[in-house]
Amino acid sequence: MAQQVFNILILRLVVSLFINVTAVSVEPKVNVADRLQELNEIQEDLKMKLKQLETMMDSEVGKLKEKVEFLETKVQEQDNLFKKCQVKNSDAIGSLRNAEENNLKRMVLDPKTCLEARTANPSLESGMYFIDPDGQGRGDDPIYVYCNMTTGSTSILHDSEDSIAVSHCFEPGCYTRGIKYNATLRQMTMLSELSNVCHQSIQVDCYDAAFEFNGIPYAWWNDRNGDPRYFWSGMNNNSSGRYHTCQCGLDGSCKDKSLSCNCDSDLAIELSDIGILLEKDFLPVTKLNFGRTIAPTSINRHTLGRFECNGKVVLNGMPTSCQDLWRIGYTLSGIYSIKGSSNKVETVYCDFTKLPGDEELQTWIGYVDVKSEPVYFTVARKTLFSNLNTAISFDQETLNTGNGLNTSTGVFSAPRNGTYFFAFSSFAENQYSSFSVYLQLNDATIATCITSYALFYCNIPSTLKLSTGDRVQVSLQQGTTNNAIFTGWLLAEDIIQ
């Protein structure tokens, strides 16, 4: 009985389970299998897709990797390039800076004169400096000179600054010593051009060795052009002949008052001549020549000072040449106006790549037609004029500029120095009347004109050189006139007095 109950219970349970199962799925057995099949298929499909995706991803990643590597190398290359560029740039900047510094240094180091250096930097100490009198970057190389920064003077050193004994010989100039300067002659000439004063001291100690004896010169020095000079101090203020003197000759203090140098004496006593050569255009001394030292007891010793220049060149008035312009500091080649000869302004081309002494420095172009004020007039007379020996006045004024002609008096008064042109013209009232006129400069008659039956026109053209205030007029000498034309103008003005 109990077994039955149990069985029934089991059955119920199974049935209820079954019912439950049927309640859950409508077509339970077939549907589940199908579904599984379906799911499997989906799974397979997904797996395949995943595989595909993976391979795709793999290839994409590979490509990306390649790209990244490529980019990395690119970046590396760019980086290298950039670094190189930086190095180059800094090199360039460095060399630019160096160039600038060098330029600055050169500007400081190579002024034209010591004075220029001192003007640029007043704190500079005296000593050896490089200067370039003929200008930076052209002509000769800079020279190494002594600058006295107290005075601003420039000194050129040479090989004969010590006291040097002259060898024994007899003939005039048998002893010769060429002076070797530590600068080219051109640089020294340019230094002299730029300076206000140049000088060189010279001392000769002598004993029985005359400079000059019985009118024969045994000793001289050569100037920068190589010409012999016989004065041992001062300027060459006697251009006539062979100028011979020493400082004692200039002072009248020579031992032998009849001579102009102590060393002109043939006496066996120790003598000296000490002088300072001041002739800027002759300096420096290029050679020293002595003679008449043949006697074993004869002594001549020379001591030549440095070639020293100081001051800035001072022009006497307006520049008259490219050389003047160069001296006062012009360096830009071009067309310039200068004070010409004949009181006119002239135009020249200055080529400042050339140096003074070079013909091509200056090319003459022509006169400049400068008028400080224009002066011209044209006037006429249409009414009767009969006052004899009186300036003909005018009643019509076509032009009158520059304060020259006073129409009411008929007198022209030159407003400026210069050259003027005038023309006066008139004709007789009729065939039977005659008249004469004359052109006057101040109170002098310059030209006259008389009409006649044959010639009843009067023309007086004239070109006159006038000074300020000079009067020009046309006066009636005889007869009458009732017509006249007077014209005149300033042709060329004397700009430079």
By the criterion CB under 6 A, which residues form the site for ligand NAG? Answer: 126, 143-144, 148, 150-151, 157, 182, 234-235, 237-238, 240-241, 243, 278, 406, 408-409, 417, 467-468, 497
| CA distance linking residue 212 with residue 229, whole number of Å | 13
CB nearer to ligand NAG: give 151 or 203. Answer: 151
Q: List, in sequence order, every residue forming a beta bridge with 347; answer none if it has no partner.
A: 337, 366
- Rounded to a whole number of angstroms, the minimum distance from the CB of residue 305 to ligand NAG is 11
CB nearer to ligand NAG: give 369 or 397. Answer: 397
Length of the chain: 497
- Rounded to a whole number of angstroms, the minimum distance from the CB of residue 436 to ligand NAG is 25
- Rounded to a whole number of angstroms, the minimum distance from the CB of residue 153 to ligand NAG is 6
In the block, tokens 């004869």 appear at: 298
| CA distance linking residue 204 with residue 300, whole number of Å | 7
Phi, psi for residue 34 in degrees, rounded to 5: -60, -45
Report the 10 Å Cβ neighbour count for 254: 22
CB nearer to ligand NAG: give 234 or 356. Answer: 234
Provide DSSP, 206-234: EES--SEETTEE--EEE-TTS-EEEE-SB
- Rounded to a whole number of angstroms, the minimum distance from the CB of residue 406 to ligand NAG is 4
- Rounded to a whole number of angstroms, the minimum distance from the CB of residue 269 to ligand NAG is 26
User: 148-174: buried (b, 16+ CB within 10 Å) or exposed (e) per residue?
Assistant: bbeebbbbbbbebeeeeebebbeebbb
Contact 384, 480 (CB under 8 A): yes
CB nearer to ligand NAG: give 200 or 362. Answer: 200
- Rounded to a whole number of angstroms, the minimum distance from the CB of residue 212 to ligand NAG is 11
Tokens linked to 45: 């499909």
Tokens linked to 83: 């670094």
- Long-range contacts for 230-237 (Cβ within 8 Å, ≥24 apart)? 231/277, 232/202, 232/204, 232/261, 232/273, 232/275, 232/277, 233/202, 233/273, 233/274, 233/275, 233/276, 233/277, 233/278, 234/275, 234/276, 234/277, 234/278, 234/279, 235/278, 235/279, 236/279, 236/282
CB nearer to ligand NAG: give 220 or 435. Answer: 220
CB nearer to ligand NAG: give 353 or 417. Answer: 417
- Rounded to a whole number of angstroms, the minimum distance from the CB of residue 416 to ligand NAG is 7
- Rounded to a whole number of angstroms, the minimum distance from the CB of residue 87 to ligand NAG is 36
- Cα Rg of the chain, angstroms: 55
Tokens linked to 216: 């024969």
CB nearer to ligand NAG: give 410 or 451. Answer: 410
CB nearer to ligand NAG: give 224 or 465. Answer: 465
167 Cβ contact partners less than 8 Å away, ≥ 6 residues apart: 175, 293
CB nearer to ligand NAG: give 337 or 407. Answer: 407
CB nearer to ligand NAG: give 403 or 433. Answer: 403
CB nearer to ligand NAG: give 350 or 464. Answer: 464
Closest listed residue to residue 274, CA positions, set 235, 293, 246, 305: 246
Cis amide prior to 284 (ω within 30 degrees)? yes
CB nearer to ligand NAG: give 158 or 350. Answer: 158
C-beta nearest to ligand NAG: residue: 234
DSSP state of 361: G
- Rounded to a whole number of angstroms, the minimum distance from the CB of residue 178 to ligand NAG is 17
- Rounded to a whole number of angstroms, the minimum distance from the CB of residue 414 to ligand NAG is 9
Burial of 181 (0-12, 13-18, 19+ CB in 10 A): buried
Burial of 448 (0-12, 13-18, 19+ CB in 10 A): middle
- Rounded to a whole number of angstroms, the minimum distance from the CB of residue 270 to ligand NAG is 26
- Rounded to a whole number of angstroms, the minimum distance from the CB of residue 225 to ligand NAG is 20
In the block, tokens 């600055």 appear at: 104
